[in-house]
Structure 1
Amino acid sequence: MEPCETIRRFVVFDIGKTNTRAILADLASGQEIETLRMENRVLPGPPYPHLDVEELWLFLMRSLREFAAGARIGGVIVIAHGATFALIDDSGLVLPVLDYEFVGPDELAEAYDRLRPPFERTGTPRMPGGLNIGAQLFWLRSRFPNRVAQAQHALFWPQYWTWRLTGRAVSEISYASSHGDVWDLRTRIPAGGTMADVTGGLFPGLAPAHELAGVIRPDLAHAHGLPEGIPVHVGAHDSSLALVPHAGAGKREPLVVMPTGTWLTAFAIGVERMPAGGMLGVMASLDIFGHLVPNFRFMAGKARVDLLAEEDHELPACPAEHCELRQEPENGRFRLVDSRTGQPVRLPVPDGGRKADHLDRLLAREAVRGMQAIGAKGVIHMTGPFAGNRAFTQALEKYWPFPIELRSYEESLVDQVTALFREAGR
């Protein structure tokens, strides 16, 4: 790996749940040069709702070609949202990449719950639909046993793209340990015992996120008009990359890193102890450097979109302190319910008030409740859409007794990648 100072152009593929960005950055100056975007699609099936992998692939190749036309590319790294994996053999996918919002895995919840490891080993709470990778894989084994039997590897979402670019199959610890049920936090290997029948040796060995996985395959370079020899790095979980500038060597003072988007995640840096399980959204994972990090996650962005789109005028108003978010299992949509009765309600909005502002205050309160549950303390470093949401940040300032620092998404992402390679070179 070349030092950051000599890499003038670097490409970051940031695959979010809703949108994907291709960012051309100058790591020497820490500047974003150009960003291309596309909206992700979920295809309805058959055989089940799945991600539009080929449209993503075309976007990645077009972006690389456009960026390479202007300057030499010194490296490529893929970061991606969680709870997603690909089953592959030598020729490619053996099954479509399941959308984690698909509720199909819940059909086998009772049987799967008898197999999954305890929270104390994996830091993983039981989550609905496909939000536990183990539940996805268990369901796929049951419904498509012959297809799964063909698979040579199960690749986490960033590493699927790394493999497709280079031909090298690896796993990475920040993704492997993120609410999947599939990795043991203590042993740093795939969960054994009854889960061995689910994982079946499909996950390849670990490699650091910064490590050089290889170079873009010569046949791809030729087919897409790219220069040969472009380096490709292992890649990482998107939320975990956000920790790097704050959790590198010698940086373990208490603080909170809060990337936001479809998901809001609060990482308690400097705590390094397993939180008590039981509260929805509370979990623990390992960061890119292998540190234990308690964290709290909820789909704040999706909940906001769902609730603002809902026509709820006929519902009874409920005081905010008695409202709670609830996700409907049949369709994944969020509703507000009265915590005392479980009945659907709406927030009271005074004349002249904005429903969005009241909802943002409720979401901020939920974030604080989660941070308290994981023992978080200190300054909040927030990135993503909620960092530009004044009603949300004002409410957070009211509820949280420490300062809040806000950064734009693309600017902070370039900083994160730069920090990753800086820390790797120590």
Structure 2
Amino acid sequence: GHVIACTHGAALVALDGAGADAGLAWEPLDYEYAALDGAAAQDFAAGNDFGETLSPELPAGLNAARQLWWMENTHPAAWRRTRCLVPYAQYWAWRLSGVACSEVSSLGCHTHLWNPHTGDFSRLARARGWAQRFAPLRSAWEVLGPVRADVAAPWGLPAAARVHVGVHDSNACLARYLPGALDGAAQAEQTLLPALTLVSSGTWTVLMAPGAPASALVAGQDMLANVDVTGRLTPTARFMGGREFAHLLDGACADAAGPQDLRALVAERLHAYPAFAAQGGPFAGRAGCVLWQDRPLPA
């Protein structure tokens, strides 16, 4: 009876209107699209203030604002068609309900677009005119309406299903542990944050520590502030754990090994030193290697 989209961050969709009959102004960009990491990106980087956004400079399109900057400067005709911007989770909410909106956990996910201190768009987003293009803010748990009739039948969804705003994936994991988060922001703002560190795994290993001091964040080590579903600043550190694991598996089935194999690896002093993934984390840019008994692994 309920539908809620949960997607990765650093992803935006541009619409040529804000209504149910709108279409794409341009196709969404992959945050690993190499063209976004060219020499022109240096011009863009100067516009971000880490002290304000707590969003570090990241490669390719992992700062969603770079996607907007690139489209505006390299595809002006497509940019002129842009009437409404929505984060990726809210794109699916729009597809399902016909109602366009934005949401803080997606906007506050290393985008350069959000100021987690003030709970509003960043100076960069305002100066570039991007803030005004985003659909109105709604809370992740709000109901936008029923599934559109022209979507329900072909997608096999109940016609009476209610569509919620949607959420950034790691923040969906965090929400259940936040006091008051499921009862609304007003209560949550008056409740002390728990002392916890949540580790969310997938392509990224994301460590979120609500209540930790933002002053401890180091931009060069891929530390940043996410924003939880109630809008509160959430210190975060991360690396591409899933990508590292997949590289080390080299096509093998992850279930092929058991505890006895792990014990054997430890006994043989076999170590994998990061990074094998090209992006993310404190070791990004360093070539990963595997050592056996403190020597390079034989070929």
TM-score range, shorter chain: 0.7 to 0.9
Match for residue 292 of structure 1 among 216, 233, 242: 233
Say which SS state the counterpart of residue 279 (structure 1) adopts: helix
**Aligned residue identity for 1:267:** M
- 1:347 maps to which residue? 290
- 1:215 maps to which residue? 146
Say if 2:175 is the partner of 1:244.
yes
Structure 1 contact 239–259 (Cα < 8 Å) conserved? yes
- 1:101 maps to which residue? 32
Residues matched between the structures, number: 262
- 1:151 maps to which residue? 82
Q: Equivalences for 1:125-136 in 2 at 5 Å?
A: 125-136=56-67
Q: CA deviation at 1:188?
A: 1.8
Match for residue 269 of structure 1 among 210, 213, 216: 210
Q: CA deviation at 1:205?
A: 2.1
Deviations 1:104-159 (A, max 9, x none): 1112211101222x111111011001100011111111121111211111111110
Match for residue 5 of structure 2 among 74, 78, 96: 78
Say which SS state the counterpart of residue 246 (structure 1) adopts: coil
Say which SS state the counterpart of residue 347 (structure 1) adopts: strand
**Aligned residue identity for 2:42:** E
Separation (CA, whole Å) in 2 of partners of 1:194 and 1:160:
20
Q: CA deviation at 1:219?
A: 2.4
Q: CA deviation at 1:238?
A: 0.7
Separation (CA, whole Å) in 2 of partners of 1:158 and 1:138:
21
Separation (CA, whole Å) in 2 of partners of 1:127 and 1:151:
25
- 1:182 maps to which residue? 113
Separation (CA, whole Å) in 2 of partners of 1:129 and 1:218:
38
- 1:325 maps to which residue? 275
CA 251–79 in structure 1, closer or farther in 2 if over 3 Å, else same: farther
- Give me the identity figure in percent: 30
CA 297–224 in structure 1, closer or farther in 2 if over 3 Å, else same: closer
CA 110–224 in structure 1, closer or farther in 2 if over 3 Å, else same: closer
**Aligned residue identity for 2:229:** I
**Aligned residue identity for 1:325:** A
Structure 1 contact 274–284 (Cα < 8 Å) conserved? no
Separation (CA, whole Å) in 2 of partners of 1:224 and 1:271:
43
Separation (CA, whole Å) in 1 of partners of 2:151 and 2:79:
27
Deviations 1:247-271 (A, max 9, x none): 2234623111111010000011232
- 1:167 maps to which residue? 98
Separation (CA, whole Å) in 2 of partners of 1:333 and 1:254:
26
- 2:165 maps to which residue? 234
Separation (CA, whole Å) in 2 of partners of 1:193 and 1:93:
24
- 1:15 maps to which residue? none
Separation (CA, whole Å) in 2 of partners of 1:152 and 1:307:
44
Separation (CA, whole Å) in 1 of partners of 2:289 and 2:157:
54
TM-score under structure 2 length normalisation = 0.78
Match for residue 259 of structure 1 among 190, 200, 203: 200
Structure 2 contact 101–135 (Cα < 8 Å) conserved? yes
CA 200–207 in structure 1, closer or farther in 2 if over 3 Å, else same: closer
CA 324–230 in structure 1, closer or farther in 2 if over 3 Å, else same: closer
**Aligned residue identity for 1:208:** S
Q: CA deviation at 1:200?
A: 5.3
CA 222–193 in structure 1, closer or farther in 2 if over 3 Å, else same: closer
Q: CA deviation at 1:283?
A: 0.5
Say which SS state the counterpart of residue 292 (structure 2) adopts: coil
Separation (CA, whole Å) in 1 of partners of 2:113 and 2:79:
17
Say if 2:43 is the partner of 1:111.
yes
Stretches of structure 1 that go unaligned for 5 or more consecutive residues are: 1-73, 311-318, 356-426
TM-score under structure 1 length normalisation = 0.56
Structure 1 contact 159–235 (Cα < 8 Å) conserved? yes
Separation (CA, whole Å) in 2 of partners of 1:125 and 1:226:
40
**RMSD of aligned Cα (Å):** 2.9
Which moved further from structure 2: 87-96 or 75-84?
Answer: 87-96
Match for residue 14 of structure 2 among 87, 91, 109: 87
Which moved further from structure 2: 124-133 or 245-254?
Answer: 245-254
Structure 2 contact 240–277 (Cα < 8 Å) conserved? no
Q: CA deviation at 1:284?
A: 0.8
- 1:371 maps to which residue? none
Separation (CA, whole Å) in 2 of partners of 1:227 and 1:325:
46
Structure 1 contact 248–289 (Cα < 8 Å) conserved? no
**Aligned residue identity for 2:275:** L
Structure 2 contact 116–232 (Cα < 8 Å) conserved? no
Separation (CA, whole Å) in 2 of partners of 1:280 and 1:210:
32
